[in-house]
Amino acid sequence: MKNHIAYCGADCMKCADFVHQRCPSCRLTEWKDDDMCMPVKCCREKGIDFCAFCDVFPCKEMAEFYRESASHREAFVRMEDLKTKG
């Protein structure tokens, strides 16, 4: 599961870039420090697998992210579920 769900909770399997092998997932992308996705950087710094495992989930930045689109709202629900089962 972990390699197909982004740190933020987005489902890679629903992303055309992942499905068409243009993106290896945010977990395997070789990020440049100035181009790194905020949840990737934060989770890596904290040593956690998902935003759901953060003590301040959802932080202000991620709360805004989760409101941006339907797929982000799905990611939020996924992270809430993971946090309650955690």
Domain that holds residue 49: 2-85
- Looking up tokens 């996924």 gives 78
CA atoms within 13 A on the CB side of 19: 5
Q: How confident is the model at residue 3 (pLDDT cuts 50, 70, 90)?
A: confident
Percent of the chain with pLDDT over 70: 98
Give the gyration radius of the chain's Cα atoms: 12
pLDDT tens sequence across 5-29: 999 999 989 888 888 888 888 888 8
Token pair in block for residue 52? 């759901």
Q: What is the pLDDT of residue 1?
A: 62
Number of domains in the chain: 1
Q: Using an 8 Å Cβ cutoff, are 25 and 18 in contact? A: yes
Q: What is the pLDDT of residues 25-79, one digit of tens each?
A: 888 888 887 888 889 999 999 999 999 999 999 899 899 989 999 989 999 999 9
